[in-house]
Amino acid sequence: MKNKQEIREIIWNLFEEKNISTFPRPVHGRIPNFIGANVAAEKLNELTIWKKARIIKSNPDSPQKWVREEALKHGKTVYMAVPRLREERCFLKINPRKVPSVNQASTIKGAFKYGEKVYPDEIDKVDVIIIGSVAVNKKGAKIGKGGGFSDLEYAIGKQFGIVSENTPTISTVHPLQIVDFELPMEDHDVPLDYIVTRDKIIKTNTSYVKPIGINWNIIGDKIKEIPLLQKLKKGV
């Protein structure tokens, strides 16, 4: 089996070769933004769990900007992680009733301007989790860009009781990000319940188990960079 970094490189190189990436570039080292990301976001409206959801937790990466906008457009409250969880109030609450433009508020810059910084214990119970991916497969396995932050955001949410193993996880991707081979999954990796492209919705019926909380054994030097982890560690 290929390792995670080898798989990332395959996808990033494919994006460059097929010229399907959009701003920001270069695509390497990122959750790749892609042509049709806006259409994939609109496709979510065909999912009942999405239509019923009132509270969305989203990654801050560029391709999911369109998902955040779609959520705000339909009156959903969006909680977006502060990039790299670098602040103690490490989530931004974006209230659709308090923003002048959902297009602006769905960007990282706009989220900081119009959103409210909150602690995890101030977050309402999340109905749907949006995760950015570099590669996915139909079994619900996924690989991110290598920082481990989306998995950590889930673990923090689990620790605070704002998400559970039953909270649906969704990733919007380009069809070329869906691979037909096994992806390495570790205990801290969050699997996907749904994969959404511009053309279709895939229910994975994943057999992978979602993490039970923060795994302190793998945090390492991240604790020096993430104030919330430092605060939580003192109580462990």
Q: What is the pLDDT of residues 158-173, one digit of tens each?
A: 999 999 999 999 999 9
Q: What pLDDT does residue 190 have?
A: 98
Q: What pLDDT does residue 152 have?
A: 94
pLDDT tens per residue across span 60-113: 999 999 999 999 999 999 999 998 899 989 999 999 999 999 999 999 999 999
C-alpha–C-alpha distance, residues 2 and 125, integer Å: 37
pLDDT tens per residue across span 9-61: 999 999 999 999 999 999 999 999 999 999 999 999 999 999 999 999 999 99
Average pLDDT over the chain, rounded to whole? Answer: 95
Which of 94, 179, 104, 165 lies closest to 136 in space, CA to CA?
Answer: 179
pTM of the predicted model, to two decimals? 0.95
Residue 127 has pLDDT above 90, yes or no: yes
Q: Which domains does the chain have, with CATH numbers?
A: 4-234 (3.40.50.10420)
Neighbours of 46 (CB within 10 A): 11
Which of 57, 236, 64, 32 lies closest to 163 in space, CA to CA?
Answer: 57
Q: Please list the residues that pair with 201 across neighbouring strands.
A: 196
C-alpha–C-alpha distance, residues 100 and 95, integer Å: 11
Q: What pLDDT does residue 221 have?
A: 85
Residue 236 has pLDDT above 80, yes or no: no
pLDDT tens per residue across span 221-232: 888 899 999 988
Q: Please list the residues that pair with 76 across neighbouring strands.
A: none
